[in-house]
Structure 1
């Protein structure tokens, strides 16, 4: 995960940052397509060691991508490998919601994620506020909700849907901050590393929406 603090650069869209935006969106878009393909191919597998193993290996690859960030071709290959493993890891979750709540829930979550992220990106480029300032608060909130989620596995004091709403707002904020980094020229990060951040934002927003939409359908 490429959430790192570096000296801020001048804030504003230029030709070079527009090129960077195109590169990041292209890399991220292909990564999401790979994830969708992997999730489809492995949709029928039983949730168990394969999905868990894929998620663990994917987590390891995130550190490998960070270490190889100076070598963009290698980092890009590792990123696409990570997106494939992520698809395997979330395949059982997607299959579950598609089976219990219907395929429309998955489609709606995916469409809402895509349109929502485009809207958040548009907000960043249409305003002068530097959303990078939100990073500190958002990262503390993310650590807190992760801790609450772990505790909630043993002591059920917060509903999964409530946690999903918090995660949704946190990653929406991180999406704003990441697009702000792109607008500012990347803050020293390459297109690949910025794509990793945008990809993680998208996946977490999608999973949160899947829980929210699925929970709403179950309560009807």
Structure 2
């Protein structure tokens, strides 16, 4: 038993909210700045930038996880670079929706994502959630989602909207788990590492919402 009377192995740690407020504020500040850098990346992405951005993001995720404990400052710099190159990766998607439907759908998807992330954060802070169990279920669901996506490329049994709804469900679960981890004190992870998880959750939710909104608009 820990000092708060809860078994930390179970993933439910009753840490007073005021003790995690500082960690949450750091995570949200880093994440918000990351989104600003992503917007800059979208605005400045070259026509050939999608593949470069994809490779850069993939490599930077591993670099951040390697540097997060040994050099927090370096990890923060790597996160900023990752968020910028994420803009390169998703720029063709954003520009396609702007060109075919209009910029309003992008702003609406971003606003919906923001409100949704805030609601999930509030839910995680209002209730004691076993973040380890939620993260385990979410990771298993993510693997199934990836396998379903690969299989659908060959057998075409999932529509884009169906896959987007599945993505939305999986990353909603992961987001609640990530906020619950922060509520429990971070589980030894740095603010940058926690911000990376929240940021990647939000990016995937945003793309799923954009697909759903864009698909509906194109059918109207």
Name the TM-score, length of structure 2 as normaliser: 0.91
Which region of structure 1 is more displaced relative to structure 2, 132-141 or 116-125?
132-141
* Contact kept? 1:132, 1:180, Cα under 8 Å: no
- Tell me by how many angstroms 1:172 deviates: 0.8
Write the deviation string for residues 160-208 of structure 1: whole angstroms up to 9, x where unpaired.
1100101011111111100000010000101000000000011000000
Q: Secondary structure at the match of 1:158?
A: coil
Q: Is there any run of 5+ residues in structure 2 with no aligned partner, and where?
A: 1-7
Matched residue, 2:14 = 11
Matched residue, 2:62 = 63
User: Aligned runs of 1:4-83 on 2, under 5 Å?
Assistant: 7=9, 8=11, 10-42=13-45, 45-46=46-47, 49-70=48-69, 71-83=71-83
Matched residue, 1:173 = 173
Matched residue, 1:92 = 92
Instruction: Give the Cα–Cα distance (whole angstroms) in 2 for the partners of residues 129 and 16 of structure 1.
Output: 17
Instruction: Give the Cα–Cα distance (whole angstroms) in 2 for the partners of residues 107 and 13 of structure 1.
Output: 36
- Tell me by how many angstroms 1:137 deviates: 1.4
Matched residue, 1:143 = 143
Q: Secondary structure at the match of 2:68?
A: coil
- Tell me by how many angstroms 1:69 deviates: 1.1
* Contact kept? 2:12, 2:130, Cα under 8 Å: no
Q: Is there any run of 5+ residues in structure 1 with no aligned partner, and where?
A: 1-5
Matched residue, 1:201 = 201
Instruction: Give the Cα–Cα distance (whole angstroms) in 1 for the partners of residues 99 and 155 of structure 2.
Output: 28
Instruction: Give the Cα–Cα distance (whole angstroms) in 2 for the partners of residues 123 and 187 of structure 1.
Output: 19
Which region of structure 1 is more displaced relative to structure 2, 98-107 or 111-120?
98-107
Name the TM-score, length of structure 1 as normaliser: 0.91
Matched residue, 2:4 = none
Write the deviation string for residues 79-132 of structure 1: whole angstroms up to 9, x where unpaired.
100000001110110000111121111011000000110011011112233344
Matched residue, 2:152 = 152
Write the deviation string for residues 15-71 of structure 1: whole angstroms up to 9, x where unpaired.
2311000000000000011001111222xx43xx42112111110110011111111
Q: Secondary structure at the match of 1:10?
A: coil
* Contact kept? 2:178, 2:197, Cα under 8 Å: yes
How many positions carry a matched residue from both structures? 211
Matched residue, 1:3 = none
Instruction: Give the Cα–Cα distance (whole angstroms) in 1 for the partners of residues 40 and 52 of structure 2.
Output: 18
- Tell me by how many angstroms 1:9 deviates: 6.1
- Tell me by how many angstroms 1:13 deviates: 3.5
* Contact kept? 1:9, 1:185, Cα under 8 Å: no
- Tell me by how many angstroms 1:12 deviates: 3.4
* Contact kept? 2:138, 2:173, Cα under 8 Å: yes
Instruction: Give the Cα–Cα distance (whole angstroms) in 2 for the partners of residues 128 and 10 of structure 1.
Output: 8
